[in-house]
Structure 1
Amino acid sequence: MKKVILGLSTLCLIAFTSCKEESAAKKIEESNLAAAAKRDAVSSKFPKLEFDKREHDFGEIEAKTQVETVFNYKNTGEAPLVITDIKSSCGCTIPKDWSREPLAAGESGKFTVKFNGSGQNKITKTITVTANTEKGSETVKITAFVKPDPNAPATVNKPATIPTVNSAVKKTSTQPGHEGHNHN
């Protein structure tokens, strides 16, 4: 009885799995092949982000003076450029006004960077542009020499006080000529 059930099960399995004798190669449609080839060719092409300048120097500025500059860029790649985010290395530098719409190959765009004049002396701030380029991000910089705030209260330098050491010296002998010597 077991052999009969096993034989019938095998026969059913063969009947259900062997519908048509058609190879997998014959099932592929030519239109799908063409679409896949086109997709693969496009996937190896990236946008390329080129700037008119990589660094902007504001020169000497007074402390707390707000300044701004514009970075112009162009998509010199072979695919649409999409900028998803622009961030700076600190809160004192604010990038703004960039398009989040795709930028076709050959087209240009721009964004503004505003710096609030904080810090002292030579400062450098980095702005990171996140996009669908091959590297995934590009950077530009701003620099400035921030002069002291003329309205800041002047700091007064007090003369340093030096503690005296006379109070720390102990006399261990009271004989004349033996002041300050320890005879242990």
Structure 2
Amino acid sequence: MKMIKISMLALTLSLMSFSAVAPVKVLISKTITASSIVWKSETIDVGTIPQNTPKPIVFEFKNTGKTAVIITNVQGSCGCTATDYIKTPVAPGKSGTVTATYNAVNPGTFTKTVSVTTNVETAPKVLTIKGTVVTASAGVKS
């Protein structure tokens, strides 16, 4: 009889311990969003350009998202590339530009990058310009 009482007590305590703990549900949510900036071209080949002639390259983009895009920083990969960009927010459905002006001082082929930071992307977008700088004596082919 004493054994039955101890067994019943043990069973009751074990059942109480299960009912006293509320089940815990862990929900993991992962949101994947497509970029809301669509670039007309991420790489522009300017072809052949004459030495000592700055060459502006215009990158165009469209805001395909639902919120305004604000460009917060544009940085060329070297001092030979100056940058400019739209300073006002680009509304959904509207377009904007980033301009990189390459200072064609050194003859030969080149590949330069421009990093664009915005409020809608976590990592900067890297745009590329490339071409060939020729001396005046070599001539320029279009």
Residues 81, 45 of structure 1: CA spacing in aligned structure 2 closer, same or farther, 3 A cutoff?
Answer: farther
Quick check: 1:47–1:81 contact (8 Å CA) kept in 2? no
Structure (1 or 2) with the larger CA radius of gyration: 1
Are positions 1:82 and 2:70 aligned together? yes
TM alignment of 1:97-112, pairs within 5 A: 98-112=85-99
Higher strand share: 2
Find the counterpart in structure 2 of residue 58 from structure 1.
46
Higher helix share: 1
Q: What secondary structure sits across from 1:81 in the alignment?
A: coil
Distance 1:60 1:45 in 2: 39
Residues 43-95 of structure 1 show CA distances to partners (whole Å, capped at 9, x for unaligned) of: x9786211111111121122212211211111112222111011100111111
* Cα root mean square deviation, aligned: 2.3
Q: Which has the higher contact order (CA 8 A, sep 6+)?
A: 2
TM alignment of 1:10-89, pairs within 5 A: 48-89=36-77
Percent identical pairs in the alignment equals 31
Structure 1 position 109, deviation (Å): 0.8
Distance 1:117 1:47 in 2: 33
Residues 107-142 of structure 1 show CA distances to partners (whole Å, capped at 9, x for unaligned) of: 111122211102331100100101112333111111
Choose from 114, 117, 132 the match for 1:145: 132
How many residues align? The count is 107
Distance 2:82 2:127 in 1: 13
Gaps of 5+ in 1: 1-43, 151-184
Q: What secondary structure sits across from 2:44 in the alignment?
A: strand
TM-score (norm 2): 0.65
